[in-house]
Chain A
Amino acid sequence: MTDVAGDVGRELRSFIEENYLYLHPDVELGEDDDLLGLGILDSLAFIELVEEIQSRYGIAVQDIEITEENFGSLRAMTRFVESRRAS
């Protein structure tokens, strides 16, 4: 199980809270919450997050990797970043 309490998870949570949760003040973001399904991110914000991950962690994300499986929740994106950094 990916540790979303680590540095990457904390940073991503903070980015999402600061940039998107101001419109959802009652939401307490869960690690497995479906960010698109809950309307926290729209597709443009989703890509924004992918771009942020690319620049913050120096990772190149290919078009084919832009999926909900990789970035749809806090846990998914943390796992994606950590697996890339480990490789």
Chain B
Amino acid sequence: MVAVSGGVDSGVVAALCARALGPKRVLCLRMPERDAGDESSRLALELARALGAPTVEEPITDVLAALGCYRRRDEAIREVFPEYEPGWRHKLVRSEPTGGVIFFALVVERPDGTQERRRMPPDAYRALISATNMKQRVRKLLEYTWADRLGYAVVGTANLLEHDQGFFVKGGDGLADVKPIARLYKSEVYALARALGLPDAIAGRAPTTETFSLPQGQDEFYFGHPPERMDLLIHGRDSGVPAAELAASAGIGAEDVEIAYGEIDRRRVATEYLHAPPVILDPGA
């Protein structure tokens, strides 16, 4: 059971499952949502057809609306932009990597197309993230509903960058029974997509967060660098490559590599709890 978004990660995971188990034993679950865009939905269907795997569509917009996801999100945005109207496109962006503190700003696009950016106070940030995380958690609820119904395992789609750096929602996209590509760099996932013969539109698709209504890359929300550079930075960090040596291939200065190394370490520490099993207290201790 793989939730397919139309992106390269879930495409590769679904294709690997189809190879390992036979396409008839893999359910491609499509869960369109109004902020994710029609193209994702179309590509997810194209993938399932290309694999010859059964596919089911479970639109989640109405469920999210009933749970108050969009209302909570809009209330959080109004804490920063009181004049915000539902329907204005928006996204969350992080500060540039400077080696200092990372903070977030909200960008909204008014109906006339002008964009404005304001720093997000932590309370509004938490309100926004807790609301948008409902999307990943509702998706996971439906994945396990289908897994229970069919007696299947839920296969997760996190790649190395996301898994290692904690870029997932606990109890949302972080939850799975098997995570086949969690040790694969993004560049390896792209290579695998080509090798597995995924449709070009999926195999070459840039990663997006699919969480906010303005187009948003994972780099501007979380990593601070595009995925191909993040691959190099993580590999360099873990292989002990000096910053000055990595700088040329990463296309940034040695100082920026050092800053990125620091961020990689800090994200690992900060997101450790996302991977951790619950703390169990022993009443006898």
Q: Contacting A66 at CB < 8 Å: which of B101, B125, B126, B270?
A: B101
Query: Is the pair A51, B101 in contact by a Cβ cutoff of 8 Å?
Result: no
Number of residues of chain A lying within 8 A (CB) of chain B: 14
Residue of B nearest to A61 (CB): B119
Interface residue SS majority, chain A: helix
Q: Are A63 and B95 CB-contacts (below 8 A) given A42-B270, A51-B121?
A: yes
Say if the beta carbon of A87 comes within 8 Å of chain B.
no
Say if the beta carbon of A11 comes within 8 Å of chain B.
no
A6 to chain B, nearest CB (A): 25
A-B contact count (CB 8 A): 34
Q: How many residues of B sit at the interface, in one of the four size bands?
A: 10 to 19
Say if the beta carbon of B100 comes within 8 Å of chain A.
yes
Return 6 A-B CB contacts under 8 Å, by A number: A43-B102, A43-B103, A43-B270, A44-B126, A63-B95, A68-B100
Q: Which A residues between 23 and 54 are near B, CB-CB below 8 angstroms?
A: 36, 42-48, 51
Bound CA span A81–B172, Å: 41
Q: Which residues of A contact B100 (CB under 8 A)?
A: 66-68
Bound CA span A61–B13, Å: 46
Known: A43-B102, A44-B126, A47-B103. 8 other contacts (CB 8 A): A45-B122, A47-B101, A48-B123, A51-B121, A66-B103, A67-B101, A68-B100, A68-B101
A61 to chain B, nearest CB (A): 9
Q: Contacting A63 at CB < 8 Å: which of B119, B125, B126, B270?
A: B119
Q: Are A44 and B95 CB-contacts (below 8 A) given A66-B103, A68-B100?
A: no
Q: Which A residues between 3 and 31 are near B, CB-CB below 8 angstroms?
A: none
Bound CA span A46–B101, Å: 8
